[in-house]
Structure 1
Amino acid sequence: MVKAPKGWRHRTRHIYRKRVREKGAVPPLSLVLIDYKPGDKVIIDPNPAIWSGLPHRRFCGKVGEVVGKRGKAYLVKVRDGDVYKTIIVRPEHLRPFKQ
């Protein structure tokens, strides 16, 4: 028997996959150039083509609140179970949350 992988991206075969009509496309500049302010709600939507600033798979699809900025990336506060965690995410992996 082969030991199961325990890497950072294990079990992401379907989560970090682009749909057929999205393959080869870079993220639209309109999404990348959005300037988020502290207190803004965002959806964590990972783009698998860009590895830098890619959040962990457990945060995929979660809604969080922007807390601050660190370089090009944003600090996003996300609820993980009963605990709030602050993760560092690049803007290519974020979408604005509209209620």
Structure 2
Amino acid sequence: MLSHKRIRTKGKLSLTRYFQKFKTGDYVAVSQELNVPFYYVKKLQGRTGKVIEKRGDAYYVEIKDINKLKRYLIKPIHLIKIKA
């Protein structure tokens, strides 16, 4: 789990991560930004999933939990785009 940040990034909010855009079908990883509240369970940290749709400022991400697909509405500051 993330318990601390590096000294240079401590207390700073990355605006490029805050305003990043994703397309439907992009694969993303969940990475909790410690400066912004994250209201989900800790087991989501590091999980990967697929962007399903955009709703407001956030994105619906479909993540497989054991054998069941679950959909979470997550803000883009907590997401990192990955190649798949």
Identity between Structure 1 and Structure 2 (%): 27
Which AA in structure 2 matches 1:45? S
| Paired letter, 1:82 | N
Give me the TM-score of the superposition, normalised by structure 1: 0.74
Instruction: Report runs of 4+ in structure 1 exceeding 3 Å deviation.
Output: none
> How many residues end up aligned between the 2 structures?
83
SS in 2 for 1:30: helix
Measured in 2, the distance between the counterparts of 1:64 and 1:41 equals 6
> SS state of the match for residue 52, structure 2?
strand
Kindly indicate whether residue 36 of structure 2 is the aligned counterpart of residue 36 of structure 1.
no
Q: By how many angstroms is 1:69 displaced? A: 1.2
* Root mean square deviation, CA, Å: 1.6
Which of 2, 10, 13 aligns to 1:23? It is: 10
* TM-score normalized by the length of structure 2: 0.85
Q: What residue ranges of structure 1 are gaps of 5+ in the alignment?
A: 1-14
Structure 2: where are the runs of 5+ without partners? Answer: none
Structure with greater Cα Rg: 1
Q: What's the CA shift string for 1:67-93, capped at 9, x where partnerless?
A: 001111100000111111000100110
Q: Contact (CA 8 Å) 1:47, 1:54: kept in 2 or not?
A: no
Structure number with the bigger relative contact order (C-alpha 8 A, sep ≥ 6) is: 2
Q: d(CA) in 2 for partners of 1:18 and 1:57?
A: 15
Could you say what secondary structure the match of 1:74 adopts?
Answer: strand
Alpha-carbon separation, structure 2, partners of 1:54 and 1:32: 17
